[in-house]
Structure 1
Amino acid sequence: MEALGSGVPGIKLSGFSRQGAEQRGCYKAEALNSNAVRGSHCSHGETQQLDKYLRSSQLSYNTSDKSGHLVKSYMHVPAKERKLTGKTFYTSKTCTFGEDYAEISSNTAQEKVGVLLLNLGGPDTLQDVQPFLFNLFADPDIIRLPRLFRFLQRPLAQLISVVRAPKSKEGYAAIGGGSPLRRITDEQAHSLKLALGKKNLHANVYVGMRYWHPFTEEAIQQIKKDNVTKLVILPLYPQFSISTSGSSIRDLQRIFREDTYFEGLPVSIIESWYQREGYVKSMADLIEKELSSFLKPDEVMIFFSAHGVPVSYVEDSGDPYRDQMEDCISLIMDELKSRGINNPHTLAYQSRVGPVQWLKPYTDEVLVDLGQKGVKSLLAVPVSFVSEHIETLEEIDMEYKHLALESGIENWGRVPALGCTSSFISDLADAVLEALPSASAVSGKTQRNTSEDDLDPLQSVIKFFFGSILASILLLSPKLLSLFRDNLL
């Protein structure tokens, strides 16, 4: 995801399950992961603190350090004690796994179950690149402006999209003229529908993209037309970040609170699922297969490259992404070691933009460093993506591969994204089945935070007009544009 690291607001989930937010408050530990909890409960003091967050409708991943003694971090549980039986982080109540799917199916026979897959989206053609970038940068979860300058949100997004579009078009042209993400996600949706049918659950599977067609709103309209009576929301991001799953869920909440259809609809959200046994084993299968293609497999370094996020997301906004990513790598490597694969490995973060500090180490810098240290064989693993798109096909396969070979690495390989791998799709189907019992009705509409400008279209037009003038001045002034490029892009 191309993003500008300037901070994000909190994710409001008050329209969904309150219990999920309370559980989340218990999960503060060294690693803030769903599988870090072993039957823990919030203390009275922590509940009071969480109530404070909930009253302000603010989802926060920061709780009192006093809760630390309640949680045993899953990252520090010996590998042999870990149980990857499909534990998943739901916003609704935690359900018990290993249930009889036939029983679940009988309970849902009279219901119309829907599964909504959430993804980023991508331009279908080169002509779509600039409007796609505009949608991306107009998201306040990507660029957060001070209240005084919020009228610049859309004009600034327009400016950034215009400036970045030529370079982005080059990238998309190199992979065929557009993103394959929509096609692949549609294929995943079809495969998931078939897998659910084999497990005796007949459900409709929908695709909702955040920044391009089919937009989330389009999927929601189809869900209403189909009269879905129970909905499972499944972001196709294994690890949770407030800039990916969080932004999509926040957008869904906005849609839900504006539509009475969803007031009583039972909804369950699977926020992260990187720790599921099926996902971990599927990733290990792909890595093991690609290692076998090297002349000397034992000498290959496994290079996990994850999409980065600004450090401020993690340190200031409590984003659990880094902890979940590190735990994810640990789980995959434990699975490989159980198969007798003991290759060295490292983790780095790609796709940083802007002047702010992003999660380190950076992929490009690590590749150069590994080459200088004499590493000759490298297997790249795009661990935060389950579909091929520009960041795997162009950034990793072209830019990083070229950099690696130029830096002295002689043998390069890359693990493909999971796509429609049968074991992966089957595990997603299991995750949906396990989430169904935890679906609960949206707890009424939350009051929309409207400002006077929201209620006055004329004010909005005036602000966009003057904001556009300011953005145009930046765009047309060579010195200001150069400064803007250097410091923001």
Structure 2
Amino acid sequence: MNHQSMNIRIQAPCPPSPSSPRFHHKTPLILPRVNCSNEVASHVVLHMEASSDVGNSSITMSKRKRAFGWSQKQSLNKESFPLRALMTSSTQDTPASFVNDGKIGVLLLNLGGPETLDDVQPFLFNLFADPDIIRLPRLFRFLQKPLAQFISVARAPKSKEGYASIGGGSPLRQITDAQATELRKALYEKNVPAEVYVGMRYWHPFTEEAIEEIKKDGVNKLVVLPLYPQFSISTSGSSLRLLESIFREDEYLVNMQHTVIPSWYQREGYIKAMAGLIENELKGFTNPEKVMIFFSAHGVPLAYVEEAGDPYKAEMEECVDLIMEELERRKINNPYTLAYQSRVGPVEWLKPYTDQTIIELGQKGVKSLLAVPISFVSEHIETLEEIDVEYKELALESGIVEWGRVPALGCEPTFIRDLADAVIESLPYVGAMAVSNLEARQVNTFYRYIHLFYFINNRCVCYD
């Protein structure tokens, strides 16, 4: 029997020792490079499901009082990342061997978006043709593209109205290109000459187009960096699964040394950049200390978290806690809450929902609200139209008097420098094989990702 192999190198933070200080440097480790056939992946899932006591494996979150019913605990599999740890940068002089021995490339992965109104329908087709978005039972997978065509044509008129209201197209490509340019400059300033490429999942430049540029330029050391701070199988997972399939079919890529940074929400530079944007926006309110800080994250189907063990919800909650702790160090002690936006289709998504929470806040007497798009690093339709137009209108109708919104990070200097540090810190692990002293928990983290990839290959989850 022929098996298609899966080569995925994923970095994970080291579990902190009991004696570690609360905020400490965590050296990223490269997890073992493993060739997993589909058969092995199935075994991994079965083993994890049998050995993981989800119901009894609760990780206690921060004891900070959360606004309006944010839960105190989050249930996850035992293989989950350790929570409550801030990753500080310790980038020093990069060893010359990592820089001089080959050509370094950085691949930024993002969603993509239509640049003109004529692009909207084909963009939606690409979105819904992705089996990670609408997964049909195996017997009906021949209907994937016809169904995507039907949905994209049906939804295009309304979507075009949204894009028309923000200027006729998504600015995502322009912003991501600018981030790539600034990241390249930051790397050169740190004596790391690297080329930075942009690969989009559903529109130009597609991931496949970026890979062709990488091959043409002769890159032989690649750092893959999804521009999603928190990992989810519906964002980073989908992009990495596509990338894995591209690598598997190309001899050049099979032999390329590479590593993946799956999430980076704990990094100090990212946390400080987010806190700085929030602090700046609070100054525009009449009574800054009374403003409700409203974190709004893109939602995912509840099944991803409860059945597949997607770490997205836990990573999001930890990320919010870390930002609030940074704000406390700046003497900012505002109330805050977290909700999830952009749900579609009949399946249940992560709660609380953003729209419902805004109404509840108004009913509770909140008069000033600052929206923080926590899962987005670039402006696009979810920030410029959904938050700025729809949710603002809903907030004002619900009794909220003062409304503000924190901008997406974009090319914020602290953020870009921290991404550069993340890339540099990953270079020693490009092409590295298994580290001999990895503890079982760290190895299990790798199999957790295999679990996620298996889930999105085998479960039917329909968004629409």
TM class by shorter chain equals 0.7 to 0.9
The amino acid that maps onto 1:187 is: A
Partner residue in 2 for 1:55: 40
Q: Could you tell me which of 374, 391, 395 is aligned with 2:365?
A: 374
The amino acid that maps onto 1:135 is: N
3-state DSSP of counterpart to 2:188:
helix
Partner residue in 2 for 1:98: 90
8 Å Cα contact 1:101-1:433 kept in structure 2: no
Could you tell which deviates more after superposition, 336-345 or 58-67?
58-67
In structure 2, what is the Cα distance between the partners aligned to 1:68 and 1:252?
33
Partner residue in 2 for 1:182: 173
Identity over the aligned pairs, expressed in percent?
Answer: 63
Matched, 1:241 2:228: no
User: Could you say which structure has the higher helix fraction?
Assistant: 1
3-state DSSP of counterpart to 2:322:
helix
In structure 2, what is the Cα distance between the partners aligned to 1:270 and 1:302?
29
Partner residue in 2 for 1:457: none
Q: TM-score normalized by structure 1?
A: 0.76
Matched, 1:16 2:1: no
8 Å Cα contact 2:222-2:257 kept in structure 1: yes
Unmatched tracts of structure 1, length 5 or more: 1-11, 28-34, 87-96, 444-486
Matched, 1:115 2:106: yes
In structure 1, what is the Cα distance between the partners aligned to 2:359 and 2:372?
17
CA-CA distance at 1:102 after TM superposition: 3.5
1:154 to 1:120, Cα distance in 2 relative to 1, 3 A: same
The amino acid that maps onto 1:15 is: N
Q: Could you tell me which of 367, 378, 382 is aligned with 1:387?
A: 378
Partner residue in 2 for 1:291: 282
8 Å Cα contact 1:306-1:384 kept in structure 2: yes
8 Å Cα contact 1:262-1:442 kept in structure 2: no
CA-CA distance at 1:357 after TM superposition: 0.5
8 Å Cα contact 1:15-1:442 kept in structure 2: no
* Alignment RMSD: 3.4
3-state DSSP of counterpart to 1:324:
helix
1:488 to 1:273, Cα distance in 2 relative to 1, 3 A: closer
How many aligned positions are there?
A: 404
3-state DSSP of counterpart to 2:337:
strand
In structure 1, what is the Cα distance between the partners aligned to 2:301 and 2:5?
22
Equivalent residue runs for 1:171-210 within 5 Å: 171-210=162-201
Could you list the runs of 4 or more consecutive aligned residues of structure 1 that deviate by over 3 angstroms after TM superposition? Answer: 23-27, 37-40, 50-54, 57-63, 65-69, 71-78
Q: TM-score normalized by structure 2?
A: 0.80
Q: Could you tell me which of 222, 229, 232 is aligned with 2:220?
A: 229
Matched, 1:85 2:79: no
In structure 1, what is the Cα distance between the partners aligned to 2:220 and 2:63?
40
8 Å Cα contact 2:6-2:248 kept in structure 1: no
Partner residue in 1 for 2:205: 214
8 Å Cα contact 2:98-2:427 kept in structure 1: no
CA-CA distance at 1:110 after TM superposition: 3.5
Matched, 1:436 2:421: no
The amino acid that maps onto 1:389 is: H
CA-CA distance at 1:14 after TM superposition: 2.4
Q: Could you tell me which of 332, 338, 347 is aligned with 2:329?
A: 338
CA-CA distance at 1:263 after TM superposition: 1.6
In structure 2, what is the Cα distance between the partners aligned to 1:13 and 1:101?
36
1:318-352 CA-to-partner distances (Å, cap 9, x unmatched) read 21111110111111111111111110000000000
CA-CA distance at 1:57 after TM superposition: 6.6
Q: Could you tell me which of 170, 173, 195 is aligned with 2:161?
A: 170
The amino acid that maps onto 1:383 is: I
Partner residue in 2 for 1:251: 242
1:327 to 1:13, Cα distance in 2 relative to 1, 3 A: farther
CA-CA distance at 1:239 after TM superposition: 0.3
Unmatched tracts of structure 2, length 5 or more: 17-23, 65-82, 435-461
CA-CA distance at 1:98 after TM superposition: 2.8
In structure 2, what is the Cα distance between the partners aligned to 1:254 and 1:337?
44
1:257 to 1:125, Cα distance in 2 relative to 1, 3 A: same
Larger Rg: 1
CA-CA distance at 1:439 after TM superposition: 1.2
Partner residue in 2 for 1:309: 300
CA-CA distance at 1:101 after TM superposition: 2.6
